[in-house]
Amino acid sequence: MADLSKRITGLTPGGDDGWGLFYRARALKAAGEPILELTIGEHDVRTDPAILEAMHASARGGHTGYAAVPGIAPLRQAVAERLTASSGVAHGPENVLITPGGQAGLFAAHHAACDEGDRAMLIDPYYATYPGTIRGVGAVPVPVAARPEDGFQPREADLAAAAEASGARSLLINTPNNPTGAVYSDATLEGIARVAEAHDLWVISDEVYDAQVWDGRHRPFAGLPGMFERTLTVGSLSKSHAMTGSRLGWVAGPEAAMAHLLNLATHTTYGVPGYIQEAGLFALRQGPEAQAAVAAPFRRRRDMVLQRLEGQQALRAIPPAGAMYVMLDVRATGMSGEAFGAGLLEEEKVAIMPGESFGAAAAGHIRVALTLPDEQFAEALDRLFAYADRQVEKVVA
């Protein structure tokens, strides 16, 4: 076989990028083991049947050919209205490109911001695909740690130092944050804006969890003064409307940038199926009540975790202000996140994601997805806390 490109073989130089535990859990489950999975951000309640009916009706109605590459006009308008309402900055259809999910949006946005060999900053902890996405466009990831003691809010001074040292072209942020659940404060966002302006950075703002905020508020980065012209906002219906498998997202930004992103889409994805876009339009037209109904179970289960943390010493957490996860600090057990997760799967048949999957700053933590029905989730918590207690007892002994 001829040699493959260095770019594709180097996407994840760490091997499985920390996903080995997930794959092991899935293999056990496929073999018939009763595994309780708290791994990926997949809703336990699937896409609303009414959305699927809209998708079916569109397909049956003939919307199965090539759709407009930038997205059908009514959907682009609906996304623009959503962004205008949340950010306070006027968006029109010309500011929106529909993409096959948020992941494709992230890839496209980094193509717009970075040339081959450019440095691209990202906040650590980060969603596991971020470094590979950056490498995939030929750029070099520059992680900047957000510390647990700061509630995983990145420090302006750290970002400024990294931008100065690396000569970075872009900064990827994610709030509400996966994996930590942090919602960036006004002070954090304003600090990021100062760094972006001082170092002439593109800010790529992943806001796919914008409908899942438990404490405080989500403030779209493009809405900060002077930031619209240097921001590419990535969104999706995956989390807000439980449409993960539909692969429907967007990138929004200045019109001049969007014209080039449309050109990229023409040469890569060539758009998103029209019947899926019609279903997405139907979903958005259901209003904020539909998004709140999708989000409600995750708020409830987040509170279940926080209640269980009271009065025990084995596990700690910074209460997540958003998203569908809780990060638990397991360092009192004397174990890494990887070791804790492996033991938990072996002894209790509960699968989580180790913090090390999300960067060095999350070492010694685990990420718990709030994605099982309440009764099963409570059972998984019982097993997780019992396992943690046993490990602490070993440390004390």
| Tokens of residue 149, six digits | 């003691």
Per-residue pLDDT at 16: 64
Same domain, 282 and 293: no
Total-model pTM: 0.96
Same domain, 64 and 208: yes
pLDDT tens digits along 64-98: 999 999 999 999 999 999 999 999 999 999 999 99
Q: Domain end: 256, 287, 318, which one?
A: 287
Per-residue pLDDT of the chain (397 residues; tens, 9 = 90+): 999 999 999 998 876 666 788 999 999 999 999 999 999 999 999 999 999 999 999 999 999 999 999 999 999 999 999 999 999 999 999 999 999 999 999 999 999 999 999 999 999 999 999 999 999 999 999 999 999 999 999 999 999 999 999 999 999 999 999 999 999 999 999 999 999 999 999 999 999 999 999 999 999 999 999 999 999 999 999 999 999 999 999 999 999 999 999 999 999 999 999 999 999 999 999 999 999 999 999 999 999 999 999 989 899 999 999 999 999 999 999 999 999 999 999 999 999 999 999 999 999 999 999 999 999 999 999 999 999 999 998 887 6
CATH code, domain with 197 = 3.40.640.10
Same domain, 23 and 140: no
In a domain, 214, yes or no: yes
d(CA 329, CA 313): 11
Same domain, 160 and 235: yes
Give the contacts of 71 (CB within 8 A, at least 6 positions apart).
79, 96, 97, 98, 250, 271, 272, 277
CATH code, domain with 33 = 3.90.1150.10
In a domain, 1, yes or no: no
pLDDT tens digits along 328-384: 999 999 999 999 999 999 999 999 999 999 999 999 999 999 999 999 999 999 999
Same domain, 126 and 200: yes
Per-residue pLDDT at 93: 98
Same domain, 27 and 112: no
Q: Domain end: 287, 311, 338, which one?
A: 287
Q: Where are the beta strands (DSSP E) in 90-167?
A: 96-99, 119-124, 140-145
Per-residue pLDDT at 20: 85
Q: Report the b/e string of 309-344 with b at 16+ CB within 10 A.
A: beeeebbebbebbbbbbbbbbbbbbebbbbbbbbbb
In a domain, 349, yes or no: yes
Same domain, 194 and 225: yes
Task: Give the chain's domain count.
Answer: 2
In a domain, 379, yes or no: yes
Same domain, 15 and 53: no
Same domain, 123 and 267: yes
In a domain, 354, yes or no: yes
Q: Domain end: 287, 313, 337, which one?
A: 287
Q: Which residues share a beta bridge with 367?
A: 327, 353
Same domain, 315 and 365: yes
- Which strands make up the sheet holding 119-124, listed edge to edge? 96-99, 249-252, 231-236, 202-206, 170-174, 119-124, 140-145
Per-residue pLDDT at 15: 63
Same domain, 257 and 267: yes
Q: Determine how β-strand 316-317 pairs with β-strand 119-124.
A: unpaired
Per-residue pLDDT at 335: 96
Contact (CB, 8 A) for 356 and 13: no
- The parent domain of residue 238 ranges over 49-287
Per-residue pLDDT at 4: 96
pLDDT tens digits along 177-195: 999 999 999 999 999 999 9
In a domain, 29, yes or no: yes
In a domain, 368, yes or no: yes
Same domain, 57 and 26: no
